Amino acid sequence: MTENAEAIIKDALSAILVLSEEEPLQQADAQLAIRTMNRMVAAWTIDGINLGYTDIEDLNDDITINVGLYEPLINNLAVALYPKFHKTSIPQIIVAAAVDGLKKIEQYAVEVDEADFSNNLPKGSGIDLPDYTQDRFYPSTDENVIGAETNGSIAQETDTYDEVNP
């Protein structure tokens, strides 16, 4: 179920005891929260956390992220808004919820590419046991061989700095 910006902002302001459930949202508070949320998610995008979020311009705009990320967004928005409304330090329970929420956001949004491991990397030495296998850990493929192996050692690649500038 998609929620609009007003619902997310009201929940964030309620979490930091700025707004009660039945109290109407003030226009100045709404605009501050919209700007804060847009800036916060833009900073996440720079950090590689792309949620598919569309900047909010109006309280009726839909929040365009996965529904499962609404609560983490609310908690982090609450932390971002807290110092704008309070002069005291933020309660640790709110900080903990935001940190946990940011971990969930990162798990959802950050994709880690599969690493390509070479089959001819050194395995170590000194292992001479009868049941020890000499099989390589990574399967052998031609496209992931590093350098050129000659008689058990890796030769220098061509067009390297030392070869070009002796």
Residue type present at position 62 = D
Phi and psi dihedrals of 72, rounded to 5? -60, -35
Angle 9-13-18 from CA coordinates, rounded to 5°: 145
Closest CA to 146 of 165, 113, 121: 121
| pTM reported for the whole predicted model | 0.67
Could you please report the per-residue DSSP string of 39-94? HHHHHHHHTT---------STTSBP-S-GGGHHHHHHHHHHHHHHHH-SSPPPHHH
List of domains in the chain: 5-109 (1.10.3230.20), 114-166 (no CATH)
| pLDDT bucket at 120, cuts 50 / 70 / 90 | low
Q: Show Cβ contacts of residue 32 under 8 Å, excluding neighbours closer than 6 positions.
A: 81, 84
- Tens of pLDDT, residue by residue over 33-62, are 999 999 999 999 999 899 999 999 999 999
